[in-house]
Structure 1
C-alpha cells in the first residue's frame, strides 16, 4: 500500500487492492513520510474503509483540530452500531460523530452540561438506536475515563438515525421526532389512555408514523394510492372511533403543515390506531 494523503503523524489515507480508500492509523505511521511512500505495515494499528471520497477530505480538515483518538472512538462506536442495528451507516457519520465527541468531551471537561430537549422523545421513538448509544457511552468511558451524561446518548442517537437516512439534514430528524410526538399525543388524548409501548402494535404504529412524517416533510405522496372508496367506507364504519381520531390527526397535519392526508393514508392510520388503542375500545 502507498500513502495517498497524510492527515497527521498517526493517520494516513491509502488504498487497498480493490481500489477502496482506507483510513489507516498507527503511532508514528506517517512520521517523516510523504505521499507515494510505502505504508509500514508493522506500524498499522487500525484501518477502516471509506466508500465516499469526499469524507476523506473533510476528515483531513477535522483531524487538524481534533485528536485522532476521537476518530478511533467513533470507529468503535460505528462498528458496534452496524453489528447491533444490522443497518448500513453513511460514511459521513465518521465526521459527524468524531466532531460531536470532540465538542461533547470538551464541554464535559469544562463542566458544561447541555440538556437535549428531545431526549425523552428520542428514547421512546428510536429505542434500538438509543440502546446502542448507551453502549457508545460505555465505549467513550473505556477510552477516555469520562462518563458522559445520558442526554449525550440521545444526541448520538440522532446521528445514528441521520446516518441511516442517506444524509438527511439533522433538522429533518428533529422535525420527524416532533411530528411523531404530536400525532401520538392526539391518539392518547382522544382515547384518554397511555399506549402500551412494549406491544407489537405500538411498534408497527410507530414505524408507520415515522415513514408518514418523512413523506410529509419531503412532500411526497404515498406509493399505494388505490382510491378504493369501498374499503375506505368499510374501515370508517367498522373502526369508527379510530377513524374519528385519524380525522383529528388529519386536521392537525393540514393546519400545521398545509398537507392533506389521502383516503388511503386515512385507511392505514385508522387501522393502526384501532390496533394500538384496542384496550380503550373494548
Structure 2
C-alpha cells in the first residue's frame, strides 16, 4: 500500500487491492512520509472508505484542522452507533459528527456552553439515539477528561438520527414537506400572525414538525397519554390548545392519524412559543 495523499502525521489516503480509495489512520503513520512512499501496515489502526466525492472533499479539509484523537473518537462513536442502533448510517456522519465533536470539545475548553433547544424532545422521542449518545459522551470523558453537558448528548443523538441510511425517498420527502407546511398554515391563520422565520422559536417549531412528520410516516408516534400534564398545559395555553385541536382534525381527516395527549402537549407548548411573541398580522 502506497500513500496517495497525506492529511497529517496520522491520517493518509491510500487504496486497497481493488483500487478503491480509503482513509487510513494510525499514530505516526505518515511521519516523515510523502506521496508514493510505502505504508508501514503495522501502524494502521483504522480504515474507512468514503464513496461520496463531495463528502470526501469536505472531510479532507477537516482532517487538516482537527487532532487525530478527535477523529479517532468520532470514528469509534460511529462504530458504536452502528452496533447499538441496528441501522446503517449515511457516510456524511463522518463529516458532521467529527466536526461537531471537535467543535464541542474546543468550545468546552474555551468555557463556552451552548444549550440545545431540543434536549427534552430528543430524550422523549429518540431514546435509542440518545442512549448511544450518552455512551458516546462517557467515552469522550474517559479519553479526554472533558465532561460534556447533557445538551451535547442531544446534539450527538440528532447527528446519529439524521444519518439514518434509510432516509425517506422523494415521495415521502414531498409528503413530509406538505404536512409541515399545512400545519404551519393552520397555526398562521388561527392566530392571524406573520412568522419571524429567523427566530429561535420558529426554528424550534419547524424542527419539531419535521421530526413529527417523519415519525408519523414511520408509525412511530408516542403511544403514551399523560392526562395530568395535558390538563395543565391545555388550561394554561388555552389558545394553543384550540389551535392544536385544528391540527389534530387536519391529521385525522388527511392521514387518519390520531395524536395522543402526550403528542398534543408538545404541540401546545411549541405553538404557544411560536405564536406568543409574533406580531398580529
TM-score between the two structures when normalised by the length of structure 1: 0.64
Answer yes or no: is 1:177 the counterpart of 2:203. Answer: no
Alignment of 1:196-211 (within 5 A): none
Deviation at 1:96, TM superposition (A): 0.9
Alignment of 1:116-155 (within 5 A): 116-155=116-155
Aligned to 1:18: 18
Q: Contact 2:11 / 2:25 at 8 angstroms: preserved in 1?
A: yes
1:5-47 C-alpha deviation (Å, 9 max, x unpaired)? 1111210011222343321112222223232322221221222
The number of residue pairs the alignment matches comes to 212
Q: Contact 1:125 / 1:177 at 8 angstroms: preserved in 2?
A: no
Alignment of 1:19-38 (within 5 A): 19-38=19-38
1-structure distance, mates of 2:2, 2:205: 42
Change (3 A) 1:172 1:132: farther
Deviation at 1:109, TM superposition (A): 1.0
Q: Contact 1:158 / 1:173 at 8 angstroms: preserved in 2?
A: no
SS of 1:24's equivalent? strand
Q: Contact 1:84 / 1:132 at 8 angstroms: preserved in 2?
A: yes
Q: Which moved more, 1:171-180 or 1:30-39?
A: 171-180
Q: CA RMSD in A?
A: 3.6
TM-score between the two structures when normalised by the length of structure 2: 0.64
Aligned to 1:251: 246
2-structure distance, mates of 1:124, 1:6: 43
Change (3 A) 1:264 1:18: farther
Alignment of 1:88-107 (within 5 A): 88-107=88-107
SS of 2:60's equivalent? helix
Structure 1 residues without counterparts, runs of 5 or longer: 196-246, 255-259, 278-282
Q: Contact 1:76 / 1:139 at 8 angstroms: preserved in 2?
A: no
